[in-house]
Amino acid sequence: METDLKLVKAVLDLMRDSVPTDCQDLIDELSKKIIRDLKEKGANKAMREWYGITDEDLEMVVRK
């Protein structure tokens, strides 16, 4: 998991460096939230929350 977080941080840093300076604060805030969510919730749960995927959604996919 730590290696994955380092990779995510590296990608976020690249994104930060590629946006105009007036957008970097926004990227910093979002980066902190992303890293915090990944650490606290794990990738699966964090992404489900970010994209609004419910258990019912997953059940429908499995049934098909």
Axis-axis angle for helices 24-51, 2-18 (nearest 10): 130
- Percentage of the chain with pLDDT > 90? 72
Work out the average pLDDT over 37-44.
93
* Closest residue by Cα to residue 46 from 57, 35, 55: 35
Which tokens belong to 13? Answer: 């840093």
CA distance 23 to 5: 22
Task: Please tell me the distance from the alpha carbon of residue 43 to that of residue 26, in angstroms, as a whole number.
Answer: 22
Q: Summarize the confidence of residues 33-39 as an average pLDDT.
A: 95
Distance CA 25, CA 14 (A): 14
pTM of the model: 0.74
Where are the chain's structural domains?
2-63
The pLDDT of residue 27 is 93
